[in-house]
Amino acid sequence: MNALLVARNTFREATRDRVLAGIVVTGLVLLAMTQVVGVLALGEARRLTVDLGLSAISLLGLFVVLLVGTNLVAKEIERRTIYNLLSRPIARHEYLIGKWAGLSAALWVVCAVLGVALGLLLAVRGSHGHVGSIAEAVYLAGLELTVITSIAVLCSSLSTPVLSALYTLGFYLVGEWSYDLRAFADKAQGMAGGILGVVANVVPNLPLFNMRTLASSAQVTSAGHLVIATLYALVYCGCALALATAAFESRDFK
């Protein structure tokens, strides 16, 4: 219950922040610009629109996480607004879960708005076959951002906003290359291979959430893939939030 109250407040904070409104407007402008670039794509305009539109959703969502998410806890500690919450009957894990859930909800709204705009744009251009694939791709992009938000909350509960942003960006970049890292770990010998294998398992498996190539060809993924991606996201978020709670539990607020 308390986590829901914190989540509602975090959602309100994110949606009243000009950053989020700016990101949504930027996304809509980028979608419009795909129509200009599409002229140069020689018959591949629809594919380009879908690919650029879905990339915009993922990258703009990442910006929101880096700009808002990495400040979530650290800024509250710095500005001492955290006293307003933790001096009340709220467990620290409820606080962290609430923060993560609130920002994740705001990101899902961003994904939904931009996803609907992309769908409408394609419908206006007479392409109705992409609706299912775009819906799936936007859903997976939302899951990906939810996972990155949990990492941002973990980093934010341990470090300063700037360092949190750097750590979160690092996790994102390495996570995007986790398949290659795993393949490299399999080929590497000895301790280096072991370390790379551990790193590949610790960083989020972000390619699991990337359906942009399929969606641009108007293809849908399997239900099994969606279920596995959903379960993976939930387990990963749970682990990241459990670690954040363990680190946060003993923290003093001077």
Partner 1 sequence: MRTSRRFAAVEPVGSAPTPVMSYPTTFNRAPRRAAAREVVRAQALCKQYRSPWTLKTVDGLKDVSFEIAAGEVIGLLGPNGAGKTTTPKMLTGLIKPTRGTAWALGEPMTSVSSRRRLGFLPEQPYFFDYLNGVEYLELAGRLSGLAGRDAAARAREWLGRVGLSDRPRLILRKYSKGMLQRLGLAAALVHQPELLILDEPMSGLDPFGRRDVRELILEQRRMGTTILFSSHILPDVEMLCDRVLIIVDGRLVRTATLHDLMQHGAHGVEIRCVGSPVLEIPPVWMTKLARNEHADGTAFLLADATLMDEVVEWLMRSGVRLRAVTPQRATLEELFLAATESTDLDRPEETA
Distance CA 130, CA 119 (A): 8
**Closest CB to partner 1 among 156 and 205?**
156
**Closest CB to partner 1 among 47 and 93?**
93
Distance CA 63, CA 109 (A): 15
Q: Considering the rule CB under 8 A, would residue 253 count as an interface residue with partner 1?
A: yes
- Retrieve residue 188's tokens: 């590497």
Q: What share of the chain is helix, strand, coil (3-state, %, to 5)?
A: 85, 0, 15
Q: Considering the rule CB under 8 A, would residue 9 count as an interface residue with partner 1?
A: yes
Q: Who contacts 43 (Cβ-Cβ below 8 Å, separation ≥6)?
A: none
Q: Considering the rule CB under 8 A, would residue 109 count as an interface residue with partner 1?
A: no
Of 4-12, 40-48, 202-210, 229-237: span binding partner 1 (CB under 8 A):
4-12
Residue 39 CB, nearest approach to partner 1 (Å): 42
Find the binder of partner 1 among 43, 89, 190, 224 (CB under 8 A): 89
Distance CA 4, CA 102 (A): 8
Write the DSSP assignment of 127-173 as a string of letters: --TTHHHHHHHHHHHHHHHHHHHHHHHHHHHHS-HHHHHHHHHHHHH
Question: Could you tell me if 102 and 8 are in contact, meaning their C-beta atoms sit under 8 angstroms apart?
Answer: yes
Q: Considering the rule CB under 8 A, would residue 90 count as an interface residue with partner 1?
A: yes
Residue 86 CB, nearest approach to partner 1 (Å): 6
For the CA atoms of 211, 212, 216, 221, what is the dihedral angle to 10 degrees?
0
Distance CA 13, CA 166 (A): 22
Of 44-52, 83-91, 138-146, 188-196: span binding partner 1 (CB under 8 A):
83-91
Find the binder of partner 1 among 19, 33, 44, 79 (CB under 8 A): 79
Question: Could you tell me if 18 and 76 are in contact, meaning their C-beta atoms sit under 8 angstroms apart?
Answer: no
Q: Considering the rule CB under 8 A, would residue 128 count as an interface residue with partner 1?
A: no
**Residues between 222 and 251 with contacts to partner 1, criterion CB under 8 A:** 250
Q: Considering the rule CB under 8 A, would residue 179 count as an interface residue with partner 1?
A: no
Residue 5 CB, nearest approach to partner 1 (Å): 5
Which stretches of the chain bind partner 1, using CB under 8 A? 2, 5, 9, 12-13, 16-17, 79-81, 83-91, 250, 252-254
